[in-house]
Amino acid sequence: MRWFALFLAVTLAGCVSPVVVDHRSGTDFAEYRSYAIDPPPDDEEVLSLDGQRVQQALRRELANHPLQSAGKDQADMLVRYRFVPVEKFQGSGVQFGFGWFGRGYGVSTSTPVEGETYKEYKLQVAMVDRATKDVVWEATSRDTLYEELSSQRRAERIDKMVAEMLKRYPPGAS
């Protein structure tokens, strides 16, 4: 019985999707025939390296869909992306306690929690109807980017994030 419970736990853990996807219900995604990548405002003048990687991955993955690349003013859909910061805390602290039951004797010590706050970034991609300016599809990665990743690992991780997201476009595709 224990082995079955362990097997079940491992199997279910593997079922968690690497991305969270949402879409506007009632949208006919077959109506969208063209797209343009619309970078975030802070990436327009000087595109960050990660921004370049995201755009390359989006173009590569969207080539597998029945959408044609078009100019921003001619596209049916704008593809927007952004990096969502997530604050994390990494800390440590030691606590020790000792005591007796009874007359109130005891010893206790603790040290303050030491650590640092740092940021990781989740990638979010949104498909926006150019005519109405409404988001019709959105995906957010569960995986994150962080400072210590090498250039190669960042590129690999971004490629994987975008591929996992666009496997689920249009809704019901996966």
Q: Domain extents for the chain? A: 18-89+119-166
pTM, full prediction: 0.76
C-alpha 117/C-alpha 97 separation (Å) is: 28
Outline where DSSP puts E strands in the chain. 19-23, 34-38, 68-69, 77-92, 95-99, 106-110, 114-129, 135-141
pLDDT per residue as tens digits for the range 137-170: 999 999 999 888 999 999 999 999 999 999 999 9
pLDDT value at residue 109: 59
18-89+119-166 belongs to CATH 3.30.160.670: yes
> What's the pLDDT tens digit per position in 1-47?
555 444 444 444 455 678 999 999 999 999 999 999 998 887 555 56
